[in-house]
Amino acid sequence: HQVTGLSDAAPWGLYISGFVFFVGASAGATIIGLMIHAFGRQDYAPLGTRAILVGMLSLVAAVLFITVDVGSIPRMMNLPWIWRNPTSMFMYTSLTYYLFGLLLLGELYYTIKVTRGTATNGDKKRAKWLAIAAVPFALVVVHAPHGALFAVIKAREFWNNPLLPPHFAVVALVSGTGIMLLLALVTSALNGRQLVRKETLSHMGALLAFFIALAGFLDFFDWIVFSYSGKSAGNEAWKFLTTTHLPLSALHVGGYIVAFLILIFARGRGLGWLAVASVVAIVAVAAYRYNLTTLGMAVPLFGFLPSAEYVPTWSELSLALGIVAAVVLAYSVLVKVLPLEDQARPSGGSSARTA
C-alpha cells in the first residue's frame, strides 16, 4: 500500500481492473475457434493458432495482475488447493483458471499437430471439440462467475446486480473480437500480405458491432435499474460516473457508440476504419472495467465515512505496462517458433467460405 494508491477502504484498483480485462480478452478470443470448427468458416483458419495464443497469454496476464496485487506468489497459489472456502466465489474462480489453462493447452497441442500434418483422425476430432467447448467454458464457467465475484457482494449496491455475470460475458466477446480483429490487421500490415481475406475481416467487424450492441443494451438496463431502484449507494456511484470519472465514462459509452457507427457505416470504406473501430472498442472495454472496479469501492459503506479516493500511482502504471509488454513479447516469440495455419496453406484458397 505504500507504493500504490490502494488502501483498506479501496483495496481494488488498477491491478484488479487489468485482471478482469484480460480474463475477458482470454474468454472472448475463443470465438475464433468456434467460427472455424462449429460454423465451418475455414476463412478464419489463419487466425486459429493465434487466437489460442491470445487466449493463453491473456490468461497469463490476468494471473500476473493478481500476483502483483496479492504481492506473494506462494500465498496466491494456496487457492484453491490449501485454502478452500466453498462459500467463496474466489475458490471457484481460481480453480477455473487452471482448468481453462489446461483446455487451451490441449487445444494448442492438437491444433499444432493438425497444422504439421501429423494428426490422426482422433487428434482432429479432439482439436475440433476442444475449440467448440472452449467458448461456453470460457464464457459460462470462467468469465461470467467473474461478474458474480462483484454481483454477490450485497454491501456494494453498485455491484449487487444479477445482470452483471451475463454483462461480463458479453463484454468479453467485445474485447476478444476487437483484439483478434486488430491483430489480423496489424499482422497483415507488418507481413505485407493479407492474413485473412477482406470478406473475413468485414465479417469480424460485423460480429464486433453485434457484440457492442449487446453490451450497450446491457449498459442501458444497468442505468435503468440503478435510476429506478432509488438505492442511495447505487445512485451515489452513478454520480461519480458523471463527475470525477466522467472522462472514463465518456470513453466507455462514447467508445461503444463511435466504434458501432464506424462498423456500420464505414466498414466497407477501407481496412483502416476497421482498425480504428477495434482500437476504440478495446479502449471502451478497458474504461468500463476500470470504472466498474474502482467505483464499487469509492462509495463508503456507511454515510458518516468519507469516499474512498483512489488514483493509480506510477508504480501501478509501470507494472501494468510491464505485464502488457511481457505478453506482447511472448506472443511475438511464439508466432515465430510455432507452426501457424497461414504458413501451412494460403489464405483465401478454395476451401475458404464467406458469409
Q: Hey, how many other C-beta atoms are within 10 angstroms of the C-beta on 161? A: 19
**pLDDT confidence of residue 346:** 42
Distance of CA 200 to the CA centre of its chain: 21
Residue 38 DSSP label: T
Average pLDDT, the chain: 88
Residue 218 sits at the vertex; the CA angle it makes with 216 and 221, to the nearest 5 degrees, is 110
Q: How many CA atoms lie within 13 A of 155 on its CB side?
A: 7
> What b-and-e string marks burial along 110-144, b requiring 16 or more CB atoms within 10 Å of the CB?
bbbbbbeeebeeebeebbbebbbbbbebbbebbbb
Report whether pLDDT(232) > 70.
Answer: no
- Distance, C-alpha 269 to centroid of its chain: 28
Task: Let me know: does 275 contact 268? Beta carbons within 8 Å.
Answer: no
* Whether residue 230 has pLDDT greater than 80: no
Contact 342, 195 (CB under 8 A): yes
47: number of Cβ within 10 Å: 28
Per-residue pLDDT reduced to its tens digit, 149-187: 999 988 887 888 888 999 999 999 999 999 999 999 999
Q: Give the CA dihedral 47, 53, 55, 58, nearest 10 degrees.
A: -130
- Mean pLDDT value across residues 50-55: 96
Confidence class for position 353, pLDDT limits 50, 70, 90? very low
> What integer pLDDT is reported at residue 233 of this predicted model?
61
Structure-block grid coordinates of residue 30: 475463443
pLDDT of residue 351: 40
pLDDT number for residue 33: 94
Please state the pTM of the whole predicted model: 0.91
Per-residue pLDDT of 233-272, as tens digits, reads 667 777 788 888 899 999 999 999 999 999 998 766 778 8
Which contacts qualify for 139-144: CB closer than 8 Å, 24 or more apart? 139/27, 139/30, 139/169, 139/172, 139/173, 140/169, 141/96, 141/99, 141/100, 142/23, 142/26, 142/27, 142/93, 142/96, 142/97, 142/100, 143/23, 143/24, 143/27, 143/168, 143/169, 143/172, 144/168, 144/169
| Residues 278, 272: Cα–Cα separation, whole Å | 10
Of the pLDDT bands very low, low, confident and very high (cuts 50, 70, 90), residue 52 is very high
In this predicted model, what pLDDT tens digit does every residue of 65-97 receive, in sequence order? Answer: 999 998 888 888 887 888 888 888 888 888 999
Which among 217, 202, 133, 112 is positioned nearest to 170, based on CA atoms? 217
